[in-house]
Amino acid sequence: MLQIRLMKLEDTERAKPLFRESPLFFNKQKLIINQSYVIEDQGAISGIASYKLKDEKTAMIDCLYVKRSERGAKLGDGLFRAILNHLNLRKITTVFIVGNRVANGFFVAEGLEIVAVDPNDSDLLTFRVDLPSFFERGCKHSEPQA
C-alpha cells in the first residue's frame, strides 16, 4: 500500500537505494528526520522530501526526490503536497525551493513563482510558494475541464 509519512530513523537504511541512484544530489543533503517525509510502497522507499526552517514563517524545501523508475506516477506531486501541508499546519507562510534542470518543469507545472535565477547556472531556479494562496486555489486536478 502506498503511504506518505514522516521519515523515521530506520528509513535511512531502506532509503539507501535512492542515495545510490543519485549520490551527487544526496551528498549535499543533511536530512533531518522530523523534517523529512518519505513515500513508500510495500516497504520500499520511492521518494524523499525534506525542509529546513529559515525563520518562524519561512522554510526551504531542500530535498524532493523520486526514484527514476517511479517518476510520472504523480508520486512527486503527492510528496510535494504532503510536505507543503505539513508546513502549512506549522503556520509557515512562505516556502522556497531551488529547482534544477530536471525538476524545474515540475515546479512550473505546479504554478510556482520563479523569484531568482542563479547567475552561475541558469538551470538553477529559485521558486517561491505562498502557502495560503497555494491551498486557496485547490488541487490542479480539481479544476473544471473545458
- Whether the CB-CB separation of 51 and 59 falls below 8 Å is answered with yes
- What pLDDT, on the 0 to 100 scale, is given for residue 14? 85
What are the boundaries of each domain within the chain?
A: 2-142
Cα torsion at 71, 13, 10, 62 (round to 10°)? -50
Alpha-carbon distance 6 to 49, whole Å? 9
User: Exposed, middle or buried by CB within 10 Å (0-12, 13-18, 19+), for 99?
Assistant: buried
Q: What is the tens place of the pLDDT at every residue in 51-64?
A: 999 999 999 998 89
Q: Is the pLDDT of residue 19 over 80?
A: yes
3-state secondary structure of 115: strand
- What pLDDT, on the 0 to 100 scale, is given for residue 122? 82
Alpha-carbon distance 132 to 138, whole Å? 10
- For range 8-30, the mean pLDDT: 79
Q: Which residue has the higher pLDDT, 60 or 141?
A: 60
pLDDT tier for residue 106 given thresholds of 50, 70 and 90: confident
What CATH number should be reported for the domain whose range is 2-142? 3.40.630.30
